[in-house]
Amino acid sequence: MPCRSLILVAVLLTPGIAHGADECVVPDRMSPSQKVPCVRASSPMLEQPTLSLEQVAKGPDFDPANPSGSRFKYFTPADTVTCFFRPHFAFLRDRGQTPKFLCWQMDGADAFYDRAGEKVGVDGVRVVVRKSPGGEDRSALMARTAGGAERELQADQFKVKYLMPPYPNNSSRDNEVFTEVAATRILWALGFPADHMYAARAAQCVGCGSDPFKSNLKENKASLHDKPVAFNVVAIERLLPMDAIDPNDDETWSWADANGFYANGWSREQQIGFDAYRLALGILSYHNPLDSQNRLACAEWKAGAGDPRVCAHPVILVQDLGSTFGKPGTFGNSRGSFGDWQGQRVFADAARCELKYSLKGQPTVLKAAQDLLLQRLERLDRDRVKAIFAAARFQIMDKKQIDRLHDRNGNADDAVLNEWTDAFMSRVAEIRSARNCRE
């Protein structure tokens, strides 16, 4: 998004309704320039949850008040899920590099889950591809019931990231199936918006083929009883349950615009929140701030504002956190390398509060942001950090680290998790010891 778009922050007018420059107005046919006031009104901060060790381990969709009712929504490293392939990424111009696919969650061979978790039995299904109002190809699941009628089934769906070649022969480039689970879980526990990522033992996909991402699969002609393809050691992603603000199907926000508002336009509270977010991303060694990896969403809509809608709480977040727990490299960024991440730091110069990765913004952060993040980190103690790394399966990720610890210690899993946890806690200590942050 070009910097000149900042000048578009002005009073927006609709017939009979006047909206101020500090409001995030979201009309039905929103133009890209109309996103800019939403960035100006945004924050990367949410209320921090108070989480038990079980909640931290099981993730944001686990409901301790209703464990059985929420079971379809979250996954564990022991789970094998079954799903029906949904063509999607083959239709995108920019589909990234990580092997992945969308699918609808099944319950056995003849039922799906709807979006509320209720099981819906079907006699048969077919996938149709049709044009969206914007002209993009979109797939839908058509279900046939006992009476023979056909209707579109609004089934529960998720994204699966998989390894190709499979674990343990996978490239470290695809360690995102581990790192993104940990990164999103840490940010969620700290009260920052993040997608809901889970580790699973396997995904059994009907209609996928052996490598749907590489083969650019655009259709699913399978029947419910066709043999599924197994993808082992996968990550399952559910999007943060907030409405996207996405004119022309572009839900991104610009680091240039955010940093421009930081300099002129944001309140002190917004500046503090943004700096606390940058510090948290620094713990993870997130270092490659691409606008295409960002998302703008609405956490709360303004009551009574129907046409156009007004977002009372727009949020900005980094949606692709796979390139973390490593370091930048000449021939590609490492992911999930303990040796690389252990040598990284949050600050280039802690005595001057200078960030190692400023994310195109101010080289230093506010003292109030340092204090805020440290306050939130108090709820993320050593046991919870270790539980997050275990839930993300860091104990099987870095082969060099595992081999090194196997040579010294028969209990390699626990030793691996302890090393990652020690390194994380050293980052917290580094933030605590930083001096001369801006007042």
Helix crossing, 382-391 with 176-190: angle to 10°?
A: 150
Q: Is 83 left (phi over 0), alpha (psi -120 to 50) or beta?
A: beta
Strand partners, 206: 84
Cβ-in-10-Å burial (0-12, 13-18, 19+) of 122 comes to buried
Q: What is the DSSP letter of 3?
A: G
Alpha-carbon gap, residue 165 to 171, rounded angstroms: 8
What are the structure tokens assigned to 408, written together?
Answer: 């010294």
Strand partners, 86: 102
Residue type, 143: A
Under 8 Å between Cβ of 24 and 311? yes
pLDDT at residue 330, rounded to an integer: 62
Instruction: Estimate the share of the chain in helix, then strand, then coil, as percent rounded to the nearest 5.
Output: 30, 25, 45
pLDDT at residue 110, rounded to an integer: 84
Alpha-carbon gap, residue 252 to 249, rounded angstroms: 9
Q: Which residue, 243, 412, 422, 433, is CA-closest to 350? A: 433
Under 8 Å between Cβ of 238 and 158? yes
pLDDT at residue 408, rounded to an integer: 66
What are the structure tokens assigned to 352, written together?
Answer: 């001057």
The string of pLDDT tens digits covering residues 347-368 is 999 999 999 999 999 999 999 9
Q: Which residue, 241, 163, 148, is CA-closest to 202? A: 163
Under 8 Å between Cβ of 37 and 23? yes
Q: What is the DSSP letter of 48?
A: P
pLDDT at residue 146, rounded to an integer: 67
Q: In the block, which residue shows the tokens 């599924």?
A: 228
Under 8 Å between Cβ of 161 and 99? yes
Q: Residue 290's CB: how many other CB atoms inside 10 A?
A: 11
Taking the mean position of all CA atoms in its chain, how far away is CA 297?
Answer: 12
Helix crossing, 412-433 with 367-377: angle to 10°?
A: 150
Q: Which residue, 290, 261, 285, is CA-closest to 273? A: 261
Tens digit of pLDDT at every position of the chain (439 positions) = 343 333 333 333 333 344 566 799 999 889 999 999 999 999 999 999 999 999 999 999 999 999 999 999 999 999 999 999 999 999 998 888 899 999 999 998 789 999 999 999 999 999 999 988 778 899 999 998 767 788 999 999 999 999 999 998 998 889 999 999 999 999 999 999 999 999 999 999 999 999 999 999 999 999 999 999 999 999 999 999 999 999 988 999 999 999 999 999 999 999 999 999 999 999 999 999 999 999 999 999 999 767 899 999 999 999 999 999 999 986 678 999 999 999 999 999 999 999 999 999 999 999 999 999 999 999 999 999 999 999 999 999 999 999 999 876 678 999 999 999 999 999 999 999 999 999 9
> 176 to each of 68, 105, 132, 186, 313, how far by Cα in Å?
29, 22, 30, 15, 30
What are the structure tokens assigned to 426, written together?
Answer: 């050293």
Q: Which residue, 322, 323, 320, 325, is CA-closest to 336? A: 325
- Residue spans of the domains in the chain: they are 3-49+244-433, 75-187+195-238
Cα angle for residues 42, 324, 217 (degrees, 5° grid):
90
Q: Which residue, 393, 388, 376, is CA-closest to 424? A: 388
Alpha-carbon gap, residue 69 to 223, rounded angstroms: 28
**If residue 204 lies in a helix (H) or strand (E), which one and from where to where?**
strand 196-206
What is the DSSP annotation of 77-120? Answer: TT-EEEEEEE--GGG-S---SS-EEEEEEBSTTSEEEBTTS-EE
Q: In the block, which residue shows the tokens 């133009």?
A: 31
